[in-house]
């Protein structure tokens, strides 16, 4: 974030959730007014690709069986080195896929609820297998609706800013810096009447007459975006 503020010459920037040291991948960063909408990603699910090392021989069929056991709602206690209180909590693992098994190394792809610790999940898988395991590498390939294919490096951004400032061409920069509305791509949307905007912005509840239309089914308690 500090580097981006310097490259883009902005005073305010923020990210949607830290990456542990030595972990690479997707990190959505908002600038200026966009930081106010970052909460839309605070509960976003994450997708990881991880390398797990088992401390004993593992049968592939047994491993797949255990991975299926860890799919769904699981109990998880954050590891010792974590930024949150170490208390038992429930997290959802939407999918857990074995991509490759090479000796005692396994390449796993996991789609999980926000707040799920990949390294703790791998540790627990090793415990159930009876051989113990630890995470050797981790890459975050998706945060909510944002995927690795859309990501840019700091060098990409610096180059785009250079082209814009020196040649007046902002084509690449516009591909990198997206409108605030993009953050709500994966969220249910409600369009409200112009006459209701001021009242809603001042804290009034939204009543049915103020709704123009909505899309994507949503339930009570879901996060929605007003347009």
Contact present, 15 and 1 (Cβ < 8 Å): yes
Regarding beta strands 89-102 and 72-76, do their DSSP bridges make them parallel or antiparallel, or are they unpaired?
antiparallel
Let me know if 20 is a catalytic residue: yes
In angstroms, rounded to a whole number, what is the distance separating the alpha carbons of residues 149 and 158?
19
DSSP 3-state of 55: coil
The residues, ordered by sequence, that sit 6+ positions from 125 with a Cβ below 8 Å of its Cβ are 52, 63, 66, 67, 70, 133
Q: Per-residue DSSP letters for 99-168?
A: EEEETTEEEEEEEE-TT--HHHHHHHHHHHHTS-EEEEEEEEEEETTEEGGG---HHHHHHHHHHHHHH-
Q: Token digits for 64? A: 């797949």
Q: Which of 20, 156, 159, 170 is catalytic?
A: 20
Q: Give the residue numbers annotated as catalytic, written as ranges.
A: 20
């Amino acid at each position: 974030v500090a580097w981006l503020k310097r490259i883009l010459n902005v005073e305010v920037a923020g990210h949607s959730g830290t990456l542990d040291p030595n972990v690479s991948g997707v990190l959505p960063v908002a600038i200026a007014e966009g930081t106010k909408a970052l909460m839309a990603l605070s509960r976003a699910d994450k997708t990881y690709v991880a390398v797990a090392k088992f401390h004993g021989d593992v049968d592939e069929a047994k491993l797949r069986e255990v991975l299926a056991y860890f799919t769904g709602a699981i109990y998880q206690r954050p590891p010792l080195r974590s930024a949150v209180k170490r208390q038992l909590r429930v997290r959802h693992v939407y999918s857990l896929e074995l991509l490759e098994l090479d000796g005692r190394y396994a390449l796993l792809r996991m789609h999980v609820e926000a707040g799920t610790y990949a390294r703790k999940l791998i540790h627990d898988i090793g415990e159930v297998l009876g051989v113990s395991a630890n995470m050797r590498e981790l890459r975050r390939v998706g945060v909510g609706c944002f995927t690795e294919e859309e990501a840019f490096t700091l060098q990409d951004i610096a180059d785009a800013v250079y082209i814009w400032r020196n040649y007046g061409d902002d084509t690449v920069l516009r591909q990198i810096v997206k409108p605030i509305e993009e953050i709500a791509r994966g969220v249910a949307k409600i369009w409200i009447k112009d006459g209701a905007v001021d009242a809603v912005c001042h804290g009034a509840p939204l009543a049915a007459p103020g709704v123009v239309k909505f899309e994507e089914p949503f339930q009570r308690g879901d996060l929605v975006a007003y347009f």
